[in-house]
Amino acid sequence: MNANGKPHRRTHTRQGDRTRRALGSALQPCSLQGLLVGLMLGTAACDATPDTYTHTHIHANRSTDTDIQNAGTAADSLAKAVQHYGFDVVSKLRFDRNNFTQGLEIHDGRLYVSSGLYGQSVIRVYTFPELELLHSVPVDPRIFAEGLTVIGDRLILLSWRERVMLVYSLPAMTLIGQSPLPGQGWGATHNGSVLWFSDGSDRLYSADLSADGELEVLPVTLASKPLRNLNELEWVGDEIWANVWQTDNIARINPETGIVEGLINLSGLLADEDRLRDTDVLNGIAINPEGGAIWVTGKRWPWLYQIRLENSPP
């Protein structure tokens, strides 16, 4: 394990291969099209067939905080100006530190949280904003849960390296099937019938599940350079907001161009006295569809924060 709870990639390759075979052994092949059918008809139950997809390579380079904070300054006069934002905390809610938060979404008065790590992955469903726990659904211990999103009465959960998406039916949170994922899964969100997800690279992927489900790729740039480590996602207005892994920043991405048009700096959000030895990075963005409030948290953080943005100089 590295400091962020993810085992070293190289040492787990063979285990990942075995996991894929085992997970798919009793199911029929399908594609994103198959996922579409499953989502609409409730019959999604198919084998992941990762060999028919091009594996998405993860870039090793990290975007540094320095890169991000310098974006949009005179050093890159050719780039479109990036608006920088600070924040105010409007309110905060006590949150379960056991959530190694990978996905965060508010839907129909419920807060959906996916929590990662092998052998510990779980989806928790809470009333919102009371945060009474309604469901705690363990995920196959061979799967490292990543982002989630709710489309209609289906919840889609990504896996980190297992190359499957799991599909659950709401409100009972019944696992009804799985569908292939072309590479790693990190964050997920949606706009209408279009599923969006990240894989830790500088690219976002989208697939319209009401059409052919074909996968499209959107390179994301900050000041004309690739912005890597895109993690948890949220569709906000006409933008996609993305946590940038291992930073305190949220990127506001134009989903038409892939250009980062704004950066939210959440440094200092979690107070030092609230940090424990295993407290991890900022991750998790959810908009409340009722009123538009923005909520954020992190991995093993004790609070959900409602924030309000403030313009700030770069």
Select the residue interacting with Ca ion from 104, 117, 155, 220 (CB under 5 A).
Answer: 104
Q: Which one among 199, 202, 234, 248 touches Ca ion, defined by CB under 5 A?
A: 234
Residue closer to Ca ion (CB basis): 104 or 266: 104
CA distance 192 to 59: 30
CA distances from 154 to 52, 165, 257, 292 (A): 25, 12, 29, 22
Residues in 105-144 that interact with Ca ion by CB under 5 A: 105
139 or 188: CB nearest Ca ion:
188
> Measured between alpha carbons, how far is 237 from 314 in angstroms, rounded to an integer?
23
Return the residue nearest Ca ion (CB atom): 234
Binders in 139-178 for Ca ion, by CB under 5 A? none
In angstroms, rounded to a whole number, what is the distance separating the alpha carbons of residues 166 and 272?
36
34, with CB counted inside 10 A (0-12, 13-18, 19+), is: buried
Q: Which of 123, 132, 121 is nearest to 172 (CA)?
A: 123
- Comparing CB distances to Ca ion, the nearer of 144 and 197 is 197
Stretch that binds Ca ion, among 36-44, 157-165, 227-235, 242-250 (CB under 5 A): 227-235
Q: Where does this chain touch Ca ion (CB under 5 A) — which range of 26-34, 56-64, 161-169, 229-237? A: 229-237
- Per rule CB under 5 A, is residue 250 in the interface with Ca ion? no
Residue 248 lies near Ca ion (rule: CB under 5 A): no
For residue 166, give the amino acid letter: L
Which amino acid does the sequence have at 214? E
CB 169 within 8 A of CB 154: yes
From 99-107, 126-134, 246-254, 268-276, give the range in contact with Ca ion by CB under 5 A.
99-107
Residues at the contact surface with Ca ion, assessed by CB under 5 A: 104-105, 234, 285
